[in-house]
Homo-oligomer: A and B are copies of this chain.
């Protein structure tokens, strides 16, 4: 169906622009800040548990991460951490929010080229304000017919979105770096999943293995290969 018009949905963070590297940088500075109290492994695992416990209440995003980082630092130091160091954690978070958007190599070209033949939508998870800012900074917004910021990406969330936009999942291709959030739910709904791994994956997004034998699952190493793959579908 080389000539057919498809709906191609893109994830944003770590698919179109770098994101997880900012969190990695925060983690590094955070472990340094708490180094006199605990080793990095204890800090990381306690922070992760705090984040998971708060996920239902806070949702995803930098503000949630900052609040969980402060809570963890207080807990790990039995309240001994000086307020000024907690202030530095707030500043780490602000730096992340104010950070420029760094597009992944080839992302702008792929989106622009594919938008000429297909209908593109952007489906991104996280904090509304932060995602909107990143979308605006990316310069890619004009190529997308719909831009959806969602609080979660499970089967029901996608199904609701597709109903709302009258999209048949069978003719939808979703492109993303997270097997758990971008690929597996789409395959279950009957769509096509194109996985482009990012070199970093947040522990929460990790799954056991890629569904390599699923007929509608594809994996490419770089978004630069996306046009060719789409043309071959």
- Interfacial residues, chain A to chain B (CB-CB below 8 A): 54, 57-60, 63-64, 66-67, 70-71, 73-74, 77, 79-84, 86-87, 90, 93-94, 97-98, 127-130, 132, 149-151
Contact = CB atoms under 8 A, between A and B. Distances in A.
**Main SS class of interface, A:** helix
Given A83-B74, A83-B81, A59 B90 contact: no
Contact of A63 (B63, B71, B73, B77): B63
Given A67-B63, A128-B127, A79 B79 contact: no
B128 A97 contact: no
Nearest to A73: B83
B79 A80 contact: no
Contacts of A57: 94, 97-98
Contacts of A149: 128
Contacts of A94: 54, 57
Given A70-B86, A84-B79, A129 B98 contact: no
Contacts of A66: 67
Contact of A151 (B73, B83, B90, B132): B132
B59 A128 contact: yes
A140 to B, nearest CB: 17
A159 to B, nearest CB: 16
Nearest to A87: B74
A79 B82 CA distance: 7
A71 B83 CA distance: 9
Contacts of A54: 94
B74 A86 contact: yes
